[in-house]
Amino acid sequence: MTPLRDIPGYLKVFRIYIGRRMYLIFLLNLASALSEGIGIVMLLPLLETMGPGGEADSGAARVVGDVLAAMGLGGSMIGILGLIGVAFLVKGVIGFGTRAYTGYLQAQLMRELKARMFDAYSRMDYLYYAHRDTGHFINIINTQINNFYGSFVEFIGLFSSAITTLTYFGFALFVAWRFGLMALIIGIVMLLLFQRLNIRVRELSRRAARENGQLAKLLIQSLQAFKYLTATDRIGRLRSGAMASIRRLTGYQVRQSVASAFTAAIVEPFSVFFIILILIVQVVVLHQPLAPMMVSILLFHRGIGAVLTIQNRWQATLNMIGSVEMVRDEFITQRENREPDGDKDLPPLSNGIVFQGVDFAYGRDLGNVLSDISLDIRARTTVALVGESGAGKSTIVDLLSLLLRPGQGKVLIDGVPGDQVRLASWRRQIGYVSQETVIFDDTLANNICLWEGDMDADPELHERIRDAARRAHIAHFIEALPSGYNTFVGDRGIRLSGGQRQRLFIARELFKQPNLLILDEATSALDTESERYIQQSIDALKGRMTVVIIAHRLSTIRNVDYVYVLDHGRLVEEGPYRQLRDLEASRFGKMVAMQAL
């Protein structure tokens, strides 16, 4: 399909986010063009009466003269000039309104796109997220949406130029129809000649949009792994990939710029050439009077300029059309991969969580990560999941939080199947300390309470934050800092040690006071003394909330109520800690013995 045939499709895409308000811009542009055209046509009777005969000879001039006479301005040069001035004043006022309203719609488009995309990302299915890279999402919401906005600006300009062109050519046909017809045909031929160039520009835009995503991925990976890559002198390996991507983007940009420069450079030569050609035909060949030609020449010059502006605007639109298509496709993909939600609100956990014959695989072509898992986590008990790396422990946790859904079997929460649960009502009850510490670039206080309020202005909140910090054994460190809880921790907590980040993470989840607390290797980065204090805080929760612990250091699960042992995605043993430890030839007993507990 050629680019010109795609215009209705792109118009539909923009209308989705702006609505029919965008059509008002087109009406305002039509009114502006009509005002200018009327002002120019008003020159016709003046030019003809200044000719040798002193009278208006052409039909167009007589029609304009009759209109002016009906307005009481017949033969009045001052009146006609005043009317021309009014016409251009009206054009200026309408032009101001058009540009102001266009700017308003552009701002609304940017807000709508970014808000909708952020909302879509906050609702996407976790399994889909796990199969994409962070660079893809950053590229879409920052670079590609900004280009989408830029494309809309040019697209509006394209339609405005088209309306202006048709208006000018309409007046040219009225003044001298042969002249106007030739000009119209020339304009259409010019647009058709640019089709091959437009197809090339659109393809360059699509390649640039994809390459921006690749570059974003490389940059994010380089920054996230900066410490490791710098310490091991391996940052050069990612730098070479980033430099290659930048070179490709530069090449696309240069070719797009050359195409734009070519179109802009030929505007005036084309216009003058065709004016000379049409004047020769009109005056020398057809022996038409020159006076109406002067008005037509002015209209033609404006019209051809508008035609080439159409090409310039369309080319500028195509320069960013890859972004429009990528954003459009991303919204479609997000709708298809939106996390399914149920309609049953869950009250606070009272009975427990049951897995019934659960199987799970991360892809159809991949083997099962979990096979026939059945377990029962009673409310207000502490349960441990143990096993070698890759046994499926973290996958069970993701099923507990309903981030993942079983391929076979059921997950029941207080007897309600997971696919019927309203997700927010369940996840509000969960505290989750994952293997990867999640720290925000903000103050220590806000990292604990997640912006629940201002601890300095709220004594109750202040005490809750301090209590959570004490229970996570980090209060002494925080309160020794010059700025205390108002200390900023840096991107992902870079100003903190690994153990401090982990304790801060634990403090946040203790502050939440959840009904279900999930601890996935929660003390792996702590020293022995800190781990002992954290363990005492966890033990103090027994009977008050449900706790699920994943641990390789079995010293952290001595006091749990029940242990599930997994191996290669299967549940191989279960029972109380001491019973499994003392059971002859038990797998768990061997694990305990290896750690000399």
Q: Which residue type is seen at 420?
A: Q
Clarify whether residues 499 and 531 are in a common domain.
no
CA distance 23 to 159: 10
CA distance 345 to 371: 29
What 8-state DSSP symbol labels residue 340?
P
Specify which residues 375 forms β-bridges with: 355
- Starting from the edge strand earliest in sequence, which strands make up the sheet with 562-567, in order? 430-433, 516-520, 546-550, 382-387, 562-567, 570-575
- Burial of 97 (C-beta count, 10 Å sphere; 0-12/13-18/19+): middle
Q: For 503-520, what is each residue's pLDDT tens digit?
A: 899 899 999 999 999 998
Dihedral of the CA atoms 77, 80, 81, 87 (nearest 10)?
A: 180
Q: In the prediction, which pLDDT does 53 show?
A: 46
Tell me the longest C-alpha to C-alpha distance in the chain: 124
Asked, for residue 281, whether it belongs to a domain, the answer is yes
CA distance 564 to 553: 15
Q: Which residue type is seen at 54?
A: G
Dihedral of the CA atoms 187, 192, 197, 202 (nearest 10)?
A: 100
State how far the alpha carbon of 154 is from the alpha carbons of 161, 313, 511, in Å: 10, 5, 51
Specify which residues 547 forms β-bridges with: 382, 517
Asked, for residue 434, whether it belongs to a domain, the answer is no
The tokens for 268 are 């005036």
State how far the alpha carbon of 447 is from the alpha carbons of 59, 505, 524, in Å: 80, 8, 20
Q: In the prediction, which pLDDT does 91 show?
A: 79
Q: What percent of the chain has pLDDT over 90?
A: 25
CA distance 267 to 262: 9
For 544-582, letters b (16+ CB in 10 Å) and e give ebbbbbbbeebebbeebbbbbbbeebebebbeebeebbe
Clarify whether residues 391 and 444 are in a common domain.
no
The tokens for 99 are 């540009």
Q: Percentages helix, strand, coil for the chain, rounded to the nearest 5? A: 65, 10, 25
Asked, for residue 435, whether it belongs to a domain, the answer is no
Residue 59 is inside which H or E element, if any? helix 59-70
Answer for the pair 289, 58: CB distance below 8 angstroms, yes or no.
yes
Answer for the pair 440, 428: CB distance below 8 angstroms, yes or no.
no
Q: In the prediction, which pLDDT does 52 show?
A: 47
State how far the alpha carbon of 77 is from the alpha carbons of 42, 54, 66, 89, in Å: 10, 13, 15, 18
Boundaries of domain holding 110? 3-336
Asked, for residue 64, whether it belongs to a domain, the answer is yes
Q: For 379-437, what is each residue's pLDDT tens digit?
A: 999 999 998 888 889 899 999 999 999 999 999 999 999 999 999 999 999 999 888 88
Q: Residue 304: which CATH number?
A: 1.20.1560.10
Clarify whether residues 326 and 356 are in a common domain.
no
Q: In the prediction, which pLDDT does 445 show?
A: 93
Asked, for residue 203, whether it belongs to a domain, the answer is yes
Clarify whether residues 354 and 232 are in a common domain.
no
Clarify whether residues 417 and 525 are in a common domain.
yes
Among 497, 513, 529, where does a domain finish?
A: 513
Clarify whether residues 542 and 554 are in a common domain.
yes
Mean pLDDT, the chain cut into blocks of 10 residues (597 residues total): 65 83 81 74 58 47 59 63 77 83 85 89 89 84 85 81 74 64 69 71 78 78 67 70 82 76 69 72 68 62 69 78 87 92 92 94 83 94 90 91 92 94 93 86 92 90 93 90 92 86 89 91 74 78 88 83 92 90 83 75
Q: In the prediction, which pLDDT does 492 show?
A: 84
State the total domains in the chain. 3
Dihedral of the CA atoms 102, 105, 106, 112 (nearest 10)?
A: -170
Specify which residues 130 forms β-bridges with: none
Clarify whether residues 365 and 454 are in a common domain.
no
Q: In the prediction, which pLDDT does 443 show?
A: 93
CA distance 246 to 239: 10
CA distance 277 to 272: 9
Among 460, 488, 513, where does a domain finish?
A: 513
Clarify whether residues 190 and 265 are in a common domain.
yes
Among 336, 371, 399, where does a domain finish?
A: 336
| SS3 (DSSP) at 559 | coil
The tokens for 273 are 């050439």
Residue 227 is inside which H or E element, if any? helix 226-231
The tokens for 443 are 């103050």
Specify which residues 548 forms β-bridges with: 383, 518
Compute the Cα dihedral for 93, 94, 97, 102 and give only its sign.
negative
Clarify whether residues 457 and 548 are in a common domain.
no
- Starting from the edge strand earliest in sequence, which strands make up the sheet with 370-378, in order? 370-378, 352-360, 408-413, 416-417
Clarify whether residues 474 and 573 are in a common domain.
no
The alpha-carbon radius of gyration of the chain (Å, integer) is: 36
Asked, for residue 65, whether it belongs to a domain, the answer is yes
C-alpha closest to that of 124 among 116, 460, 419: 116
Clarify whether residues 158 and 128 are in a common domain.
yes
Answer for the pair 302, 295: CB distance below 8 angstroms, yes or no.
no
CB under 8 Å to 463, separation ≥6 — which residues?
none
| SS3 (DSSP) at 5 | helix
Clarify whether residues 268 and 293 are in a common domain.
yes
Tell me the Ramachandran region of residue 566: left when phi exceeds 0, alpha when psi lies from -120 to 50, beta otherwise. Answer: beta
The tokens for 269 are 């030569």
Asked, for residue 459, whether it belongs to a domain, the answer is yes
Q: Residue 413: which CATH number?
A: 3.40.50.300
Task: Encode 469-516 in three state secondary structure.
Answer: HHHCCCHHHHHCCCCHHHCECCHHHCCCCHHHHHHHHHHHHHHHCCCE
